[in-house]
Every structure is written in structure tokens, then in C-alpha cells.
Amino acid sequence: MWTVVYLAKNKRIADKISNLITSEGVLVKLQPVNKNIGEEDSYYEVLVLESEVEEAHNILYEYGY
């Protein structure tokens, strides 16, 4: 099951967070909150597998997110 670990306010930030978490070996999926708005204007959920939520949170904490 996928779980939200971060809510990014645009695609650029979502990609940055995704790359950060992925670089540490955690699988990431991005999902727009509203599909009727352009990529840069929509919020994005950053999701990881439920079994990797704690690790993802630790990564985000370590990098100040």
C-alpha cells in the first residue's frame, strides 16, 4: 500500500523530494492532488510503500524537510 509522506506545492518541489528519497534507495511515486490544474500549479503527494514510511521520514528529517 502506498502512503503519503510529503505534500509538495508544485511539481518542481515534488521532483526534488522524490529524487532525494530515491537516491537513498526508497521507491517513490508522485500523484497530483488536482488533475484539472497545470503541473506547476497543482499540489503533489509524494508517496512511498507503507513498509518504507519510517525510512522516508528519517530521510526528510535529515535533509530538513
Q: How do the pLDDT tens digits run along the chain, 65 residues long?
A: 999 999 999 999 999 999 999 999 999 999 999 877 776 778 999 999 999 999 999 999 999 99
- pLDDT tens digits along 34-48: 877 776 778 999 999
Sheet holding 2-8, edge to edge: 2-8, 44-49, 28-32
Name the class of domain 2-62: alpha beta
- What are the structural domain ranges in the chain? 2-62
Residue 36, pLDDT score: 75
pTM: 0.90
Cα–Cα distance, 41 to 19 (Å, whole number):
20
Cα–Cα distance, 48 to 24 (Å, whole number):
12
E-strand stretches of 1-65: 2-8, 28-32, 44-49
